[in-house]
Structure formats: C-alpha cells, structure tokens
Amino acid sequence: MDFSAGISYTVAALTTVIAALTLYREPRSFVHGVFASGMALFAIEAGLTGFAYQAASLDDFLFRQWLELIIASFLPSLWLFFSVSFARNNYQEKI
C-alpha cells in the first residue's frame, strides 16, 4: 500500500469513528445527525482519495476522482445546513 493511500484510509477511519461517536452520544439530536452526516461524507471522500491513489491506469484514476468530486459537491451545502442549525436556537424557522 502506498503511504498516501494509507494516510487517506486512516483519515477515513478516524472520521467514521467521530461520526459514530457523535451519533452514539445523542442519537435523536438534529444537529448531531447533520454533523455526523458531514463527517460521513468526509470519510467517504477520504476513502475515495485512497482508492484513487491505488488506480492501475489513468482512466481508473480519473473515474475515481470524478466520484470523489461528486461526493465533495455535497459538502458545502451540508456544512452550511449544519452551521445554520447549530448557531441558533430557532433553526426550524431559518431552515
């Protein structure tokens, strides 16, 4: 395994643990659910980065980077959603 791929897989595992611990702490909280979703997307993105480092050909690498770009495109809206819901007591009105 390549060093960069190993780091990517380690980051994916750690962010998955953070997301799981957040949901374990308070599973019915809306804010914690949105945070855990954002961390899960970060974990998927890191896993796809490690997966892309192990590509055998240029076509495989570009396809894996394309998948990573699709996942990464959901991140800004999800984290904006989290920041609106985390920063206010009346987040139901803002959403």
CA distance 24 to 22: 5
Q: Which long-range contacts (CB under 8 A, 24 or more apart) does 2-9 make?
A: 2/53, 2/54, 4/50, 4/53, 5/50, 5/51, 5/53, 5/54, 6/50, 7/50, 8/46, 8/47, 8/49, 8/50, 8/53, 9/46, 9/47, 9/50
Tell me which of 94 and 8 has the higher pLDDT.
8
Which tens digit of pLDDT belongs to each residue from 17-53? Answer: 999 999 999 888 888 999 999 999 999 999 999 999 9
CA distance 84 to 70: 23
State the pTM of this model: 0.85
